Structure formats: C-alpha cells, structure tokens
Amino acid sequence: MPPFLYYGGIMHIPLSNRLSACAQMIAPGAMVADVGTDHGYLAIYLLRNHIAAQVCAADLREKPLEKARMNAAAAGVGEQIQFYRCDGLQLIPREMVDTIVCAGMGGDTIAHILDDCSWVQDPALTLILQPQTSGNDLRRYLGAHGFSIEEERLVLDGGRIYFAMRVRFDGGSPLTPGQQYVSPQLLASGSALLPDYLDRVIAGLRRAVEGISQSQNPEERARLFYYETALHEVLEMKL
Ligand SMILES: C[S@@+](CC[C@H](N)C(=O)[O-])C[C@H]1O[C@@H](n2cnc3c(N)ncnc32)[C@H](O)[C@@H]1O
C-alpha cells in the first residue's frame, strides 16, 4: 500500500486509531519530540494538520529513520522535521521540545527512555505515552518517580484495545498494584471499552496468580502478593 492516499487531490495520512488517540492529546502549537518515530506518520500528521509547530523525530535505527525521511518528503513536510538517530531523547535539544511522544514501544523501554533523560523531570513538559506492553510496569515507574497521569484513554484498533496516557512531572505519588494495571484516570474516563478492558486485565492477573501459586521458585512466589493485591483491587473496580 502506498504511504499516502489522495482523495479528490487531498492527501490522506494513514493514521491508526492508536496514533490518533495520541494526536488528540497534543495541544495545538506543540513542539513535539516523536521518539521511536519509525515510519514518521505521527510526525507528518501533526504537521500536515497544523497541530504541531515543529517536530523532532528520533529513532534508534537508521532504516526506520530513512523511511520517515522519505515519507516526510513525499508529504511535503520534510523541511519541518529534525531527524535524530539516537537512543530515546539523548540527542534531542531540550529547547526544541514541550511535548514528548513515546508510542508503540514496550512500557519498560519507555520507562528506560524517561529514566535516561536528564531534563524530562520538568512540569513544563507534556508526555504522551502509549505502551504496547507492560503498562503496569510503566505506571509503577511513573508513580514512583514523581509523574502523574493526567488523562488516560482506551482505543480500539484492529480488534485490540490499546491505551494512551497524558503525563506530567508534578511530584506525583506511588500507585497501588491495582492502579498500576488500571489507573484512576482510566477508570474515570467513562470509556465504553472499560468493561472489556477490566475483564482482560482480570483474566491476565488470574493467570499470573495461578501460575505463580504452583511455582516452587521463591523469587516468583515473592511476587504472588503483588498479583493477588492487584487482582483484588481490579475486581473491586468492576463492582
Ligand atoms: C513499533 S515502532 C512504533 C512506531 C510508532 N511510534 C508507532 O507507534 O506506530 C517502534 C520504533 O521505536 C524504535 N525504538 C525502539 N527503542 C527505541 C529507543 N530506545 N529509542 C528510540 N527509538 C527506539 C524502533 O526502532 C521502532 O522504529
């Protein structure tokens, strides 16, 4: 499929529901760092739709960056994006950014990216985070390091439920095991997807508790209390 489609001469940027949810949480005029840009679709969409004033697009690998450069040039916004080949935010100048997007990566990778950045603990920065996996680990990291989730939403994409969150460094406070799986902001979102999402989390936690209960490994058994507590809390959220 070509990267861009034209309807009546107007370019259509193929943005997934998942990335659309991230774009909707970005304030107009934002100076965005799109970390793990890959194809560059989000960066291109934000500029073509006049949401971002400027974008720094970073990726660990050269091949995706090359793809992003080609897509941006084809979309006519190649000059408006600064490209960086780097790990996380390592080469991105602080003064170029007021909004950081980390989407489509594991929650543990996103936590590492934040942890490795010397300037990310700044209340002036808005963080848009969309982990594909290990959302509980990322929420635990955020709560333990002074970040608060301001908004979290669910989105259906290709039959799968994803979540995206808007986060800020403001002192925050640690989250309970249950809140690490379903944040208070997600619970308050009123999303129609919430019942299905809670069922999915409960099923996963039940599997974890059952698996660990049968384990003889003392390290694994030490995690049992965490999963049991999370399961108990998430079951309460369903009531
Ligand atoms: C699955 S793609 C997601 C692309 C896009 N952000 C999205 O959500 O559709 C993940 C991208 O992140 C890049 N990546 C992984 N770890 C990274 C890191 N530590 N720093 C920068 N980029 C990274 C990968 O090279 C890959 O291009």
Confidence check: pLDDT of 2 > 60: no
pTM greater than the 0.75 cutoff: yes
- Beta strand 99-105 with 81-85 is unpaired
> What is the pLDDT at residue 216?
85
> What is the pLDDT at residue 3?
59
**Residue with CA nearest ligand 1 atom 15:** 36
User: Coil, helix or strand for 94?
Assistant: helix
Look at 9-23, 59-73, 161-175, 182-196 and tell me which has the smallest mean pLDDT.
Answer: 9-23
The angle, 0 to 180 degrees and rounded to 10, between the axes of the packed helices 107-115 and 135-144 is 30
CA–CA distances in Å: residue 90 to residues 7, 14, 134, 195, 236: 39, 29, 23, 39, 41
Average pLDDT over residues 212-217: 88
- Which ligand 1 atom is nearest residue 130's CA? 8
5-175 is classed CATH 3.40.50.12780 = no
Confidence check: pLDDT of 13 > 90: no
Q: Check pocket membership of 133 for ligand 1, CB cut-off 6 A.
A: no
- Span from the CA of 84 to the centroid of ligand 1 (angstroms): 12
Q: Check pocket membership of 33 for ligand 1, CB cut-off 6 A.
A: no
Q: Check pocket membership of 87 for ligand 1, CB cut-off 6 A.
A: yes
Average pLDDT over residues 143-162: 98
Average pLDDT over residues 207-213: 93
Average pLDDT score over the chain = 94
